Amino acid sequence: MPIEKKVVIVESPAKARTISRILGAEYFVTASMGHIRDLPERTLGVDIKNGFIPIYQETKKKVVQQLKEASRDATSIYLASDPDREGEAIAWHILESLKKSTKAPFKRVVFHEITKSAVNNAFQHPAEINMNLVDSQQARRILDRLVGYKVSEILWSKIERGISAGRVQSVALRIVCEKEREVLAFIPQEYWNLMVNLEVDPSGSGKKYQARLYQIDGKKAVVATGDESSKALDSIRSGRDFKILNNEIKPKKRYAPPPFITSTLQQAAGPALRFSASHTMRIAQGLYEGVDLGTSGPAGLITYMRTDSFTIAKEAQEACRSYIASNIGAEYLPDAPNFYKNAGRAQEAHEAIRPTDVNRTPNDMEPFLNPDQLKLYTLIWKRFVASQMRPAEQKLTTVDTGVTGSDNRNFTFRTTATETVFSGFLKIYDFLDKDKDDKTDSTEEEEFMTTASLSELAKDQKIHLLDAKSEQKFTEPPPRFSESMLIKTLEANGIGRPSTYATIVNTIQQRKYVDKLKGKLIPTELGFKVNDFLVANLGDLFQIGFTAEMELKLDKIEEGEVQWQKMLEEFYKSFSAWVGEAKTIGAPEKEKADKILHIFDSVQAWKEPEKRGRRTYDDKKFVDSVKAQFEKNGGISEKQWSALIRLSDKYKEQIPGFEDIIAGLGVTIQEKPEAPLGADGQPIPPEDMGKYKEAIDLLSAVKTAEPGAGRGGRKFDDKKFILSIKSQLDGGRNLSPKQINAVKKLTTKYKEQLPSFADLSLKLSLDAPSAPAGGGTDAAPAANADEIRDLLTSLSTVTAWEQPVKKGFRTFNDKSFYESLDKQFAAKGNLSVKQVAALKKLAGRYIKSQN
């Protein structure tokens, strides 16, 4: 009887180790290292004409060969990839790659947690590959490829090479850009908060509380200016007796949150643990695939982390209830298990994210987990246990205190306090306040701590005023997105799915479309540029509603309700029309294109090809290639049109009637850009670039500083910049005014390493830096140096500085400000325009007052 060889294929080595320990020696467990086939990188890889058939290629040839070797003499092959679309697709690709190399039957095994019982149960009940899931994944992959490939091609021609668009990432970018424009357009409005400190018993019992102005004459209090605030305070301070108008006590229940699903885990881990979405998923993957628990061996600590279902297995629910009763207290256990309703299209067969064994507490797991693993496991464990506990019982007390002011206006002040009577689930889950990611300042009443027992205050009871004060505030702009809040918005709008949220958020940052500063997502200049182009020219494709509709269609493919090729066919009809229109933006009409191409027919003496850096520019070759394209497609692009217009001016001496032809085309030949300006404001002749080349040649040999962060979170790498400028100058191209300024700054920065610095500083006029491009300047002109020095000298004699003034969150300290400017000027020899203006104001105030 032949020996059985059972081969199990999973995605990762970590998962393989855990499963191998569970299954034992009779199974050979190996890893595919993720997908082994995908669409090609450099071509579309989709046969559109023949039913959108994907053209796959093996991406891991060595791994595939190893899998074939392992499977050749197998008696059974178990495909144990993850239980979702991607996992099903991986299993199918493995089957397709190996089926000709083995006679063994392929079996699909699915489990949502890597535990002995779950894995053994799956192997006892193997199934077939679910082709609906595979088709849904293929449709998503092809959709993403069509959009990414064809739209990115347009971005390359319209904006710059190397940038990309994505079916879902570009919608996420649109959402972030729209939010940023709301922030930029926001105009702060002044308002004032009025507070009173009150005493219950003026005899000095110590029972005091604080209240905020809530109403004036029965309407919501709005104090818009400092003048209104002063009048109200005067009226309140000289008003008649304060008394209790109302004291309302309401019981309130605070229910436990459901266990985590993918989106809520990412949303909670952001503010609570300061984890990015992608980091959260990496840590969760490790907890799911297995952690070495010492003598117990590796074990999966949580259920599958890509899920949108709140469902909990009955056994896990019962184990959790038993843990609560035994370890937390029977009074915390509800009479019946807590159940949570799933969203419309959630995968009911999946479970929520929970610990695989509730008895493995975070304290027990601490010796086996690294700090980040422990933090995330604790969050998941506490959330799961809390989800099966009683609600917290609280008492909300609202006290309104009134006074009739000296101007006969009735002022109502409100105090609220919440008292927890029974902690319920709050006894174990203490992350709720940290889950609230974006807190905004508002004019709503706040909760104040009070030393008085508010519930004892009786209606009409007289209250003594201790003091009244006001605080100037300004309305805040809408908060920018954090990663967790963007994921929440994507989920709420039906964009993306559990397996894609982290990738979407990560991609827009990797593409340099969005920066993350202090946890907030802010579009870059490139991000705005790309978004504005896409919204203006492919707005229908990147609408939130349309993207959500496509997600629903993918779900329907998964459920067997829609045929995947038919869905792609319907999509492509609209898509190809949108792309066709976008490609022709700015392109000339066919007749004009034909005329500009024929203008070169008379050119006989073409200039020799010119090499710049690694590229060779051949005018004749370029014109011939555009002609061939025009004859084939009947059109040319906007960039080709502009290039041909510029090129025609270069050869105008050989083109009869050139001026009339160009005028007839309705175009204007742009003047050649002026040469860069030197320190004296005069154009720098091309040959003068030699002195900058000399500086760069010397700078390329210095030991530069490590790359550091600059404004907007960008990394500045001196070495990389120096080498790029060197390449530009070596290729015969002049520097821009901004580049010239940068070369000067770097020469000064590294002067200690430049033996000929003294000579170089004279050549580059380093004592008088030139202005940045565009006419604007952030540095004060060198001519102002004496004036700045005089102002600073005069302020050095000031002996009586005003006390620091606090405005909002900022403190204004004249003395500290002067000292910082003096120190900067001594170090750099200049100040910014804004700093000079502020210095003049400061000197004007103090010099006059002390003369």
| Residues annotated as catalytic (active site), given as ranges | 304
Q: What residue ranges in 49-122 does DSSP mark as E strands?
A: 53-54, 57-58, 76-79, 106-108
Q: Where are the alpha helices (DSSP H) in 162-289?
A: 169-185, 226-237, 262-273, 277-289
**Alpha carbons 451 and 205: distance in angstroms, whole number:** 11
> Residue 7: in which H helix or E strand, if any?
strand 6-10
Contact predicate 377/365, CB 8 Å: yes
Residues contacting residue 88 through CB under 8 Å, at least 6 positions apart: 81, 108, 129, 130, 133, 134, 137
Contact predicate 115/358, CB 8 Å: no
DSSP states along 370-438: -HHHHHHHHHHHHHHHHHTSPPEEEEEEEEEEEEE-TTS-EEEEEEEEEEEEE-GGGGT---HHHH---
Helix (H, G, I), strand (E, B) or coil at 215: strand
Residue 505: is it exposed, middle or buried by C-beta count within 10 angstroms (0-12/13-18/19+)?
buried
* CA nearest to 624, candidates 645, 650, 658, 598: 598
Residues contacting residue 187 through CB under 8 Å, at least 6 positions apart: none
Cα radius of gyration (the chain):
35
For residue 452, give Cα distances in angstroms to 209, 238, 397.
Answer: 6, 24, 12
> Residue 847: in which H helix or E strand, if any?
helix 833-849
Angle at alpha carbon of residue 714, lines to 713 and 715, rounded to 5°: 120
> What phi, psi does 847 have (nearest 5°)?
-70, -40
> Residue 471: in which H helix or E strand, if any?
strand 462-474
**Alpha carbons 307 and 230: distance in angstroms, whole number:** 56
* CA nearest to 211, candidates 229, 227, 224, 193: 193
> What phi, psi does 508 have (nearest 5°)?
-65, -20
**Tokens 């349309």 — which residue?**
546
- Residue 359 CB coordination number (10 Å): 12
Q: Residue length, the chain?
A: 851
**Alpha carbons 215 and 225: distance in angstroms, whole number:** 16
Contact predicate 247/454, CB 8 Å: yes
What's the start-to-end Cα distance of the chain, in Å? 112
Q: Strand 6-10: give its sheet, edge to edge.
A: 27-31, 6-10, 76-79, 106-108
**Alpha carbons 391 and 378: distance in angstroms, whole number:** 20
**Alpha carbons 30 and 67: distance in angstroms, whole number:** 8
**Tokens 């064994």 — which residue?**
357
Contact predicate 164/200, CB 8 Å: no
Angle at alpha carbon of residue 535, lines to 532 and 540, rounded to 5°: 175
**Alpha carbons 317 and 311: distance in angstroms, whole number:** 10
**Tokens 């540029």 — which residue?**
529
**Tokens 């600059």 — which residue?**
710
**Tokens 């203008």 — which residue?**
599
